[in-house]
């Protein structure tokens, strides 16, 4: 995943418990396949349109309970509280890591006169009557060098109407990220395991199961399109109105027999009528913490050639005329044995505003935008937000499966069904027969020694680049 510095957004919401019905609404409704009526928690949160995803990635990558998401500069957030009395937090949702951690107001970062942590919130252990100390081995870092260290603690936490009596998380007494992270990956990928050599603890989705709030350690993600104000995540549920059937289930790839990350196998990639990279068996990571999608360099170069993208090695990013977003005929199609997820150009061409408040232009005056595909180099191949917005994804940690379908953009209807326990628990999902297993792109378990693999992206750059390429000179000021 990646993190960044963002403007504060005041979020207000109303949470409520609703009986099962089917009607046009933005509020979720839940139903089981029997006569019982589970609860569902609904939250509506505003989010702004993305302005500078390059800046965001430059800084960092890396019953049914529903929490809507807030998108600020293509980051996705969940609002929650921790402690007694409760302290409000704005947490970056990250499927590419597994620890929840928060900043403390007394750290050198957060106590700066500019108050960089104020918009996302902080937590003071000594101010909470329900705080319990666990140990001082919390120490998370990411591939770009950012991270936090301090204590592991437990405390009361609330997300929507779901209150957990005792949730373990980290406190960043030393941190260079102004915003806390909500990692919801496999518990075995926690830094408590990778660095301290200890057993996993129950992170948020696992603790929801332990406290009986949901049946299965599984959740579904709907980011909606690039211009949408909200998306949602359903812990323990699937919203059948938010995807276009069929919904296919694929195995998560293990690494030396260990399930640690949401890696699945990409078998084919096409841009329009052009197949990219031939027949594939490539492991790719599904990561909400990445603004862009990162693929093998040779494949990315072929894509750049086909769309006339100008690549800048200093920023590890490519630029295209903004008008490319209006091309409705060319699709970038990702196949995973089954299904195929089609990504339109308007999801791959990202608006970019520099620190001066202006859009960059090519030498002929054409406005330039950031292209949503970048080379992975020697790092992990990642399907980030530029892919995930076009897919409805169910992360089933209990059965080590990913269920996926084409997203139903801007759906105003909702019909939530509970994910049951055991195999076949995802409603309406069909297991893919004879799925191709990955032969490339896998790493050994704990290969990063406790460094979260969900941290990579656009590094370097500056306030002014001059690029010479197919279209001309691009100047960013």
Q: Which of 140, 195, 142 is nearest to 170 (CA)?
A: 140
Measured CA distances, 176 to 59, 60, 172 (Å): 10, 10, 9
Q: pLDDT at position 38, please?
A: 59
Q: pLDDT at position 24, please?
A: 35
CA distance 231 to 243: 13
* Helix (H) / strand (E) containing 193: helix 191-194
Which pair of tokens denotes residue 45? 């949160």
Task: Give the list of residues 6+ apart from residue 73 with CB closer than 8 angstroms, or none.
Answer: 4, 6, 48, 50, 51, 52, 53, 55, 56
Which pair of tokens denotes residue 302? 């072929």
For residues 346-367, one letter each, b for 16 or more C-beta atoms within 10 angstroms of the residue's C-beta and e for the rest, the string is ebbbbbbbbeeeeebbbeeeee
- Whether residue 16 contacts residue 27, with contact meaning beta carbons closer than 8 Å, is answered with yes
For residues 158-173, one letter each, b for 16 or more C-beta atoms within 10 angstroms of the residue's C-beta and e for the rest, the string is bbbbbebeebbbbbbb
Q: Which of 30, 84, 1, 42 is nearest to 420 (CA)?
A: 30
Q: pLDDT at position 48, please?
A: 37
pLDDT tens track, the chain, 477 positions: 532 222 222 222 233 333 333 333 344 445 444 445 553 333 332 333 444 454 444 433 437 777 777 665 457 888 899 999 999 999 888 898 999 999 999 999 999 999 999 999 999 999 999 999 999 999 998 766 778 999 999 999 999 888 999 999 999 999 998 989 999 999 999 999 988 899 999 999 999 999 888 989 999 999 888 888 688 999 998 999 999 999 999 999 998 889 999 999 999 999 999 999 999 999 999 998 888 999 999 999 999 999 999 998 888 889 999 999 999 889 999 999 999 999 999 999 998 876 677 888 898 889 999 999 999 998 899 999 899 999 999 999 999 999 999 999 999 998 989 998 888 889 999 999 999 999 999 975 544 444 454 433 322 222 223 333 334 445 554
Q: Regarding beta strands 147-159 and 268-271, do their DSSP bridges make them parallel or antiparallel, or are they unpaired?
A: unpaired
Q: Cite the beta strand spans of 373-476 per DSSP E.
A: 373-375, 382-383, 391-396, 401-407, 413-414, 416-418, 429-431, 451-452, 466-468, 473-475
* Partners of residue 95 on adjacent β-strands: none
The phi and psi torsions of 419 (rounded to 5 degrees) equal -85, 120
Give Dmax over CA atoms of the chain in angstroms: 65
Q: pLDDT at position 249, please?
A: 98
Phi-psi region of 386 (alpha: psi -120 to 50; beta: other; left: phi over 0): alpha
196-199 long-range contacts, Cβ below 8 Å, gap at least 24?
Answer: 196/135, 196/137, 198/137
Phi-psi region of 236 (alpha: psi -120 to 50; beta: other; left: phi over 0): left
Q: pLDDT at position 244, please?
A: 97
Q: pLDDT at position 71, please?
A: 61
Q: pLDDT at position 256, please?
A: 84
CA distance 387 to 350: 13
Q: pLDDT at position 228, please?
A: 81
Catalytic one among 57, 94, 144, 161? 94
pLDDT in tens, 75-84: 788 889 999 9
Say whether 35 is catalytic: no
pLDDT in tens, 175-200: 998 989 999 999 999 999 988 899 99
Catalytic one among 57, 239, 287, 385? 287
Burial class (CB in 10 A: 0-12, 13-18, 19+), 306: middle
Task: Give the list of residues 6+ apart from residue 34 with CB closer than 8 angstroms, or none.
Answer: none
Q: pLDDT at position 144, please?
A: 61
CA distance 412 to 401: 28
Say whether 287 is catalytic: yes
CA distance 151 to 23: 46
Q: pLDDT at position 92, please?
A: 86
């Amino acid at each position: 995943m990646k993190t960044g510095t963002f403007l504060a957004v005041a979020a207000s919401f109303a949470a409520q418990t609703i009986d099962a019905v089917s009607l046009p609404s933005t509020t979720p409704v839940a139903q089981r396949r029997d006569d019982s009526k589970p609860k569902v928690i609904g939250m509506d949160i505003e989010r702004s349109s993305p302005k500078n995803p390059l800046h965001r990635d430059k800084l960092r990558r890396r019953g049914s309970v529903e929490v809507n998401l807030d998108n600020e500069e293509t980051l996705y957030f969940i609002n929650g509280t921790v402690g007694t009395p409760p302290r409000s937090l704005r947490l970056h949702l990250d499927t590419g890591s597994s620890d929840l951690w928060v900043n403390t107001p007394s750290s050198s970062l957060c106590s700066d006169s500019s108050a960089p942590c104020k918009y996302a919130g902080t937590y003071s252990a000594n101010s909470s009557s329900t705080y319990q100390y666990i140990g001082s081995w919390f120490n998370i870092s990411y591939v770009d060098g950012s991270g936090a260290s301090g204590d592991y603690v437990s405390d009361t936490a609330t997300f929507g109407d779901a209150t957990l009596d005792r949730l373990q998380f980290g406190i960043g007494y030393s941190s260079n990220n102004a915003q806390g992270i909500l990692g919801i990956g496999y518990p075995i990928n926690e830094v408590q395991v990778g660095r301290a050599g200890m057993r996993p603890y129950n992170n948020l989705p696992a603790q929801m199961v332990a406290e009986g709030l949901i049946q299965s350690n599984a959740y579904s993600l709907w980011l909606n399109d690039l211009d949408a104000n909200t998306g949602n995540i359903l812990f323990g549920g699937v919203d059948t109105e938010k995807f276009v059937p069929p919904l296919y289930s694929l195995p998560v790839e293990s690494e030396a027999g260990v399930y640690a990350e949401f890696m699945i196998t990409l078998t084919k990639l096409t841009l329009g009528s052009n197949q990219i990279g031939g027949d594939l068996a490539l492991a790719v990571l599904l990561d909400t913490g990445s603004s862009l999608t990162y693929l093998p360099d040779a494949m990315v170069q072929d894509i750049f050639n086909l769309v006339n993208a100008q690549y800048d090695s200093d920023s590890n990013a490519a630029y295209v005329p903004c008008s490319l977003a209006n091309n409705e005929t060319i699709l970038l199609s990702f196949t995973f044995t089954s299904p195929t997820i089609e990504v339109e150009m308007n999801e791959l061409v990202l608006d970019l505003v520099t620190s001066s408040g202006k859009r960059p232009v090519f030498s002929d005056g054409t406005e330039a935008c950031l292209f949503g595909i970048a080379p992975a180099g020697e790092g992990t191949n990642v399907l980030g937000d530029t892919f995930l917005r076009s897919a409805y994804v169910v992360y089933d940690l209990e059965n080590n499966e990913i269920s996926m379908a084409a997203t139903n953009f801007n759906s105003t209807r909702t019909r939530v069904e509970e994910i049951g326990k055991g195999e076949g628990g995802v409603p309406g999902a069909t297991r893919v027969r004879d799925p191709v297993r990955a032969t490339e792109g896998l790493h050994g378990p704990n290969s990063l020694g406790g460094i979260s693999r969900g941290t990579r992206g656009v590094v370097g750059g500056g306030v002014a680049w001059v690029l010479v390429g197919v279209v001309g000179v691009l100047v960013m000021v």
